[in-house]
Amino acid sequence: MDPSTQILTEQAHAKINLYLHVTGKRPDGYHLLDSLVVFAGAGDSLQYQPGAEPLHLELTGRFGQTLGADAAGPDNLVMKAAAALRSVSGSSAHVQGGRLVLTKELPVASGIGGGSADAAAAIRLLARAWQVDVPVGTLMHLAEKLGADVPVCVASQTARMEGIGEHLSAAPHLPACGMVLVNCGQAVSTPDVFRKRDSAFRERAILPAEWKSAQDMANDLARLGNCLEAPACEVCPPVRTVLSALAGQEDCLLARMSGSGATCFALFPSAEDARKAAHALGADHPSWWVWGGALA
């Protein structure tokens, strides 16, 4: 079937930083990072419905409806991604208008790359729908201009991320495991977190080729860390409460904050263990956003 006439959908999975080291700072002020990134089964969904009308975005879902219509304008990262892709599409592409529907189930400004994952999903989705034939490197360069987390989200697979997010390399082979995500409902400003961070830098992590078990992985990750967790707890004290609640769950192997917060995650031996913990946390804290399951 011709993709230019199909209704197509892409998933925008939550991006999780299993560890995040700030290793330096460039002269232009951007911080250099070293992180192991995975993607959870939780995520937003982006659908494209081709049509004759100018391309536009509609927001729905638990968090999309609270953002309001203004959030769907040209400054939305999804629309910026569409415009950027159009600019490199070439004469052979079938660029057209229509409707993009973003079902937003991930919390906003929460450290799990929701907006970046949405932009990356738009690149993948519209490249397919418009039959854009350009090198992968071109798409990744385009993604880099949209935001530091967008390149890894375009690939949407486990990777080591360095530089300001543009340097991606192979990650260790991960064992089977489960994950719980929790957000307290308070948005956290990334610039505020970096301003609270002390000036110390941390070395690039040494990682094995693979981990044999979830416990082995958790043991290694426990020796690493998230350099933004402590300052995020100052900016948003409920993060400490979330981390404590996660660590207190049966079979929890590791509890940590992702990105610049406020979403925290916990690793479990299996997806079923994670789902049980998520159910318990949701019952104890009904105002929190809680998800549990397998990695994507």
Known catalytic residues?
15, 149
Classified as helix, coil or strand, 248 is coil
Say which residues have a Cβ less than 8 Å from residue 95's Cβ, sequence separation at least 6.
86, 89, 130, 132
Distance CA 64, CA 180 (A): 22
Asked if 265 and 16 count as a contact pair (C-beta separation under 8 A), the reply is: yes
Binding-site members are 107-117
Pairing mode, strands 159-163 and 31-51: antiparallel
Residue found by looking up tokens 């982006």 in the block: 46
The verdict on whether omega for the bond into residue 262 sits within 30 degrees of 0, i.e. cis, is yes
Binding residue numbers for ATP? 107-117
DSSP 55: P
| Coil/strand/helix, residue 107 | coil
How many angstroms separate the CA atoms of 124 and 130, rounded? 10
List, as one string, the DSSP characters of 142-208. Answer: HHHHH-TTHHHHHHTS-EEEEETTTEEE--PBPPS-EEEEEE-S----HHHHHHHS-S---PPPP--
- β-pairing, 264-268 vs 178-183, is antiparallel
C-beta separation of 247 from 234 below 8 A: no
